[in-house]
Amino acid sequence: MFTRRDWLQQAGVGFGSLALASLLNHDAHAADRSSNPLATVTPHHPAKIKSVIFLFMYGGPSHIDLFDPKPALTKYDGQAIPVFKQDDVFMSGKTKNIAMKSPYKFAKYGQAGIDISETYPELAKHADKLCVIRSMHCESNNHGPAIFQMNSGSILAGRPSMGSWLTYGLGTEGENLPGFVVMLDHQGAPINGAMNWSNGFMPAAYQGVPFRPNGEPIAYLSPPTGVTRGRQRARLDLLKQWNEGHAAANPAESALSARIASYELAFRMQTQATEAVDLTQESVRDQSLYGLDNKTSYHFGRNCLLARRLVERGVRFIQLYSGGNEGPKAWDAHDDLKKNHDLHCAETDRPIAGLLTDLKNRGLLDSTLVIWGGEFGRTPTAESGKGRDHHARGFTIWLAGGGIRAGMIHGATDEFGYHAVENKVSVPDLHATILHLLGLDHKKLTYRFMGRDMRLTDVSGEIIKPILA
Amino acid sequence: MRLVHYFLRVVLLLLTAFCFSTDTCAADVETDSFAKVKQVFVKNCVSCHSEAAKIRGGLDLTTAEKVLAGGSSGPALVPGRSTESLMIQMVQPDRMPHMPPKGQLMQDEIETLTRWVDGISPTVAKTKLASRDHWALQKVSSPAIPKIGEKDWVRQPLDAFVLARLESKELKPSPQADKTTLVRRAYFDLIGLPPSPMAIQKFLNDTSTNAFEKVVDELLASSAYGERWGRHWLDLTRYADSGGFHNDIPRPNAWRYRDYVIKSINNDKPFAQFIREQLAGDELVDAQEEQLIATGFGRNGPSNDDNMGKTPKDIEKYRLDELDGVINTTFTTFMGMTLGCARCHDHKYDPISQKDYYQVLAIFNGTSKKDLPLSGNTVEKGKLKDPEKGIMALIDSTPNPKPTHLLWRGDINNPGPVVPPAVPAVLTWKDWPIQEAANNAKSSGRRLALAEWIASTENPLTYRVLVNRLWQHHFGRGIVETSGNFGRSGAENAHPELLDHLAAWLIENGGQWKPFHKYIMLSATYQQGSGHDAASVAIDPENRLQWRQNKRRLEAEAIRDSILAIAGTLDPKMGGPGIKPRIRPELLPASQRNKWPVIAAEGSEHWRRSVYIYSKRQLLFPLLELFDAPNTTDVCDCRLASIVPTQALLLMNDEFVADQARRFAESLMKVHGLDWDMLIQQAYTKSLGRNPSTERMSQANLFISQQASAHRESQSKTPDLDALIDLCHVLFNANEFIFID
């Protein structure tokens, strides 16, 4: 059945012009947006940023080889370290208490002297834009649960992902585009599959929409083979005529009008979503800025460039995965850390640097938060000689952009990079901080489900105040 | 807003309780001993727990009342019982989590706090929360049939209840729906498929007084009924064919539970038996294969067996998380109670304590996940010889499960006292002891005791919850909108007498669903039209009192199944392993494990009812997912009926719809040649369940001729067929196809 709310008023206002003929008011702040789940909502407090680009380094990038240098590992190379616990490792048969020094050289960059290893030479030029958090920790040292936690706060399946919470909390400013977009690595999706961008118990309107870099950006965007635009339009014209006649005979049922509008919008999206991913509109110089002129950095560069175009078009949350499928195709450097990270850093270095440059030049960096990080870090000890295992007790992410103190290091791990020891930051803390920057109070952003007011941060989460600008 | 409201509500409840439940007020807890307590707080705690500084964890320790109000982790203390009080536990040495975070109270300070807590009279602190006065916890009554004015309208006793409320608000019921509307509604309600033109005509021609009853009987006897209503049940029980998480591990035997549900519903198994089998099939004395399969109820949730950590604690935590899913599903599905809320603290709205939760956990704590052999399949080295011939079961294998500890804050590192298996005290109407099993028993018998308690006709919730769910699928919404939450935080009961009447009726009729469907569908209330009435809208805009039937959007499965049925391609084959129809190849990379096959073109093996589509957690079938099919992680009580442009894109552009539109057109032409009036009339009636008006006929004719000439111009070899395909495609997208009156 339909609720009686007026869907007519929002006909044709964008991807957000969706009607929820919901039987239930599941939605805690539904009162003001029952007719349009993606209508923009005034946040709890003034926002610092409008959009988030999450560069998700899937597989677990090694903090001690990229941003958190540990001279002690050189000293202990090949020896046992006192903090090690066999229970902490994932590959228990292969990972023993044998420290492994980093194969990379580190240097300090920028006025702030941020440590970055030689893997990221282009990114290093942006050191003064970065806020490096070296004291992250999470609750699982296995990809599936840890990715779930980074995305949804819980190591279990079924919670809405952060992108869903943001679009639920704020709506989207995009006209004919979704509010939460996901772009996969060319090697495929990470494990957990589409559950990683699930809307959980929220309406489907808040689900992440996978965008593809080639062909149709969104599924079902083009008519099937043999159906021209003209033929499609003719069909839609008859459909509209009949649907309008039917709606006129049922004037109180605004869901009928909403569905008519959804077809017109779908028709427009076919052009506008296609336009959004049309990179031929970008100059050769801009394409090269993102590394599109290089085979290795092409794929991720393309996604970074797309992310900037989507930010310009008002998309709220864009998640880009670097690393797909599993094993060496992801940042999951069990066998050979150097080989793995050489590749994935080369794939992402110029694209990320290009993104930061471009956002800055276009004045978008102040209103955009860029997050770099994976689901966990890697062990200071060796796995099978040259690799490193999963490690959840201490790892690094960095943030850059609006509302964030640029050029700082927050928190620390112990001398081996094992435990986060100083200013520890949990995943819910990170989530609370991201929501805060977007103008949302993580304790107030709730969604009623199974009799409970659910939160992205569940029962924890503290805003990381020292990193706020 | 909601959060603020919620806190206000809790605080108000507490304050009201303090001030009105006894003659004394907060003064009782503000005894002399609190003065000393306050000194302890000031010295150690208020830098984090006072309004003046900050209020960590929502706990304010500046006044006795505020201490009693608790914080975001629930009550800080249990009046009169220091050992059960979180605050007292957390200040003990070596307790994790610990308060204060960095430091330790002196022993005499702890004693001061303990004395104070033990000295608070539980009756003073007894809150409204702890009482049973909520309507859903009262016995189901058998309300007298009300006296009403318009006696002629009433066809079934339930109508009298509806009409009495309508009359009291000066509302009038809507006129009866016309016969074409009625037969279409009945088909979708009971079997989820449209009536054929022949079935419609048969009903229109039947002028006998029981013509509609005959239709209802016929549909209830059809096996498609179980497929339709079985799907509703599977929504509640989280059914899927894979585990989700890392590997999305296939569950080659999950479908047996799905088939069990469909078969049980088709056989109209009495509800009490349906409950017993799903919760405790293995503990029934005459347990057969079927009863063991039924315990798949407890196996449906997502799982990650080989990947949740290696330490015994990780493994135990994961086991408890899974059991939490089973407990939640059980209580939400059968009793409309959100028991899961009490895992970490006492329930904030309902009179369910944390202890209640762990006593229920003790009921399930002896269970383990077992894949049992089907007859004829042997077990070798602990594994099934043929892994596809097994039963996914949840069984007890010992009469004496290990003791169950209450876990403070739900934290496995923080065990409390051992609790016995028991049903939640406040939900029960009499003592329901769970006996210790004999030492030589096969299992503990605890779940059977729980099942008998849930299934008891005296249980105040079970049958109310059930009739509300059945009503919901006939009217689009339950009498209680939150059909899985009958607690205080749930929606209001829009018609208490009606709900009780229905529950009593169902109990009296043996708890079988089929007579109940008939009881509802033969009522005047059900048979009302769904038209608009300005005067009624002014009084009851949300139609909570049922002055009309509600218009409804078809569910995902009904949309797909109807397209197949109309195109004449639906294969009615029932049961068996899940089918994998075509998913666009570019969508397949979203899941790298337990891969969906690449299907170049679909064939009849794919064109079975959607309830048989393999439910793969990492990649839900797109058409179903877009139209709000459940995500299979939690109980889905009530599907949304969203309208989003991506749905329009799919129905406009997906090959499935295009392919079926072509087959539909071809099948029509095969019969009717180029008799356009006949082609249009048949296409229309098959799709929309009624004949086209003259205006629509001429519009369609014009459309056909324009399309055919356009196709001719573009050198099509089959311009007429292409034009008819265009029309069929439009019909599959029409609002009149997707909404039922």
CB burial readout A100-119, b (16+ within 10 A) else e: bbbbbebeebbebebbbbeb
> Which SS3 state, helix, strand or coil, does residue A319 take?
strand
pLDDT at A26: 31
Closest CA–CA distance from residue A150 to any residue of chain B (Å): 14
Domain assignment of residue A240, yes or no: no
Q: Hey, what amino acid is at B239?
A: Y
CATH number at residue A89: 3.40.720.10
Q: Which of A23, A226, A266 sits opposite B652 (nearest CB)?
A: A266
Domain assignment of residue A15, yes or no: no
Is residue A86 over pLDDT 70? yes
Domain assignment of residue B641, yes or no: no
pLDDT digits (tens, 9 = 90+) for A127-153: 999 999 999 999 999 999 999 999 999
User: How many Cβ pairs closer than 8 A exist between chain A and B?
Assistant: 294
Percentage of chain B modeled with pLDDT above 70 = 94
Which chain A residue is nearest to residue B637, measuring alpha carbons?
A450
Q: Which of B475, B589, B655 sits opposite A184 (nearest CB)?
A: B589
Is residue B149 over pLDDT 50? yes
Q: Is B591–A258 a contact, with Cβ atoms under 8 angstroms apart?
A: no
Q: Is A253–B551 a contact, with Cβ atoms under 8 angstroms apart?
A: yes
Tell which residue, B618, B612, B646, has the closest CA to residue B633: B618
* Contact residues, chain B, for A231 at CB < 8 Å: 707, 710, 726
| Shared-domain flag, residues B432 and B284 | yes
| Shared-domain flag, residues B396 and B505 | no
Is residue B2 over pLDDT 50? no
- Final residue of a domain: which of B422, B455, B488? B455
Mean pLDDT on B291-314: 89
Domain assignment of residue B189, yes or no: no
Is residue B34 over pLDDT 90? no
Is residue B9 over pLDDT 60? no
Q: Is A24–B638 a contact, with Cβ atoms under 8 angstroms apart?
A: yes
Q: Is A1–B541 a contact, with Cβ atoms under 8 angstroms apart?
A: no
Domain assignment of residue A222, yes or no: no
Domain assignment of residue A183, yes or no: yes
pLDDT at A342: 98
Domain around B726: 655-740
Phi, psi of B404 (to 5 degrees): -105, 125
| Shared-domain flag, residues B46 and B18 | yes
Q: Is the dihedral of CA B52, B53, B57, B62 positive or negative?
A: negative
Which chain A residue is nearest to residue B592, measuring alpha carbons?
A325
Nearest-5° angle of CA A21, CA A24, CA A29? Answer: 95
Q: Is A263–B733 a contact, with Cβ atoms under 8 angstroms apart?
A: yes
Domain assignment of residue B472, yes or no: yes
Domain assignment of residue A283, yes or no: yes
Is residue B566 over pLDDT 90? yes
CA distance A79 to B592: 38
* Contact residues, chain B, for A223 at CB < 8 Å: 652-653
Q: Which of residues 321-350 of B touch A (CB under 8 A)?
A: 321, 328, 332, 338, 340-341, 344, 349-350
Tally of domains in chain A: 1
| Shared-domain flag, residues B443 and B472 | no
Domain around A417: 40-213+277-467
Domain assignment of residue B485, yes or no: yes
Contact A303, A313 (CB under 8 A): no
- The neighbouring-strand residues paired with B338 are none
Mean pLDDT on A312-318: 94
Q: Is A189–B586 a contact, with Cβ atoms under 8 angstroms apart?
A: no
| Shared-domain flag, residues B349 and B388 | yes
pLDDT at A381: 97
Residue A215 CB burial class (10 angstroms; 0-12, 13-18, ≥19): exposed
Could you tell me the pLDDT band of residue B128, with boundaries at 50, 70 and 90?
A: very low
Closest CA–CA distance from residue B288 to any residue of chain A (Å): 33
| Shared-domain flag, residues B406 and B299 | yes
Mean pLDDT on B433-439: 91
Q: Which of residues 351-410 of A touch B (CB under 8 A)?
A: none
Domain assignment of residue B715, yes or no: yes
Could you tell me the pLDDT band of residue B375, with boundaries at 50, 70 and 90?
A: confident
pLDDT at B121: 63
Could you tell me the pLDDT band of residue A340, with boundaries at 50, 70 and 90?
A: very high
A110/B contact by beta carbon, under 8 A: no
Q: Which of A62-71, B19-28, B437-446, B731-740 has the lowest mean pLDDT?
A: B19-28
Contact B11, B60 (CB under 8 A): no
DSSP string, B51-107: TTS-BGGG---SSHHHHHH-BTTB-S-BTTBGGG-HHHHHTSTT-SS-SSSS----H
| Shared-domain flag, residues B326 and B443 | yes
Q: At what angle do helices B107-119 and B32-44 cross, to 10 degrees?
A: 140
Domain assignment of residue B520, yes or no: yes
Is residue B422 over pLDDT 90? yes
Tell which residue, B559, B592, B574, has the closest CA to residue B242: B592
B72/A contact by beta carbon, under 8 A: yes
Domain assignment of residue B394, yes or no: yes
CA distance B642 to A37: 10
Domain assignment of residue A8, yes or no: no
Tell which residue, B720, B148, B142, B229, has the closest CA to residue B514: B229
A40/B contact by beta carbon, under 8 A: no
pLDDT at B125: 45
Provide the mean pLDDT of chain A: 89
CA distance B707 to A123: 57
Domain assignment of residue B575, yes or no: no
Could you tell me the pLDDT band of residue B33, with boundaries at 50, 70 and 90?
A: low
Q: Which of B150 and B284 is assigned the larger pLDDT? A: B284
| Shared-domain flag, residues B280 and B345 | yes
Q: Which of A149, A220, A269, A271 to mutate to test the interface with B (most CBs of B within 10 A)?
A: A220
* Contact residues, chain A, for B734 at CB < 8 Å: 239, 242-243, 246
Q: Is B248–A193 a contact, with Cβ atoms under 8 angstroms apart?
A: yes
Q: Which of residues 705-724 of B touch A (CB under 8 A)?
A: 706-707, 710, 714
Domain assignment of residue A455, yes or no: yes
- Final residue of a domain: which of B508, B527, B546? B527
- The neighbouring-strand residues paired with B81 are B78
Could you tell me the pLDDT band of residue A17, with boundaries at 50, 70 and 90?
A: very low
* Contact residues, chain B, for A227 at CB < 8 Å: 653, 658
Q: Which of B538 and A133 is assigned the larger pLDDT? A: A133
Domain assignment of residue A28, yes or no: no
| Shared-domain flag, residues B335 and B448 | yes
Q: Which of B332, B532, B617 sits opposite A251 (nearest CB)?
A: B532
Mean pLDDT on B8-14: 34
pLDDT at A203: 78
Can you give the length of chain B in residues?
Answer: 741
| Shared-domain flag, residues B467 and B498 | yes
Tally of domains in chain B: 4
- Final residue of a domain: which of B72, B89, B122? B122
**B388: how many CB neighbours lie within 10 A of its CB?**
11
* Residue A188 Ramachandran class (φ > 0 left, ψ -120 to 50 alpha, else beta): left
Rounded to two decimals, the pTM is: 0.83
Which chain A residue is nearest to residue B554, measuring alpha carbons?
A1
CA distance A168 to A177: 15
| Shared-domain flag, residues B394 and B477 | no
Is residue A18 over pLDDT 70? no
Provide the mean pLDDT of chain B: 90
Q: Is B730–A223 a contact, with Cβ atoms under 8 angstroms apart?
A: no
Q: Which of residues 273-302 of B touch A (CB under 8 A)?
A: 302
**C-alpha pair distances (Å), B534 with each of B250, B538, B552:** 53, 6, 19
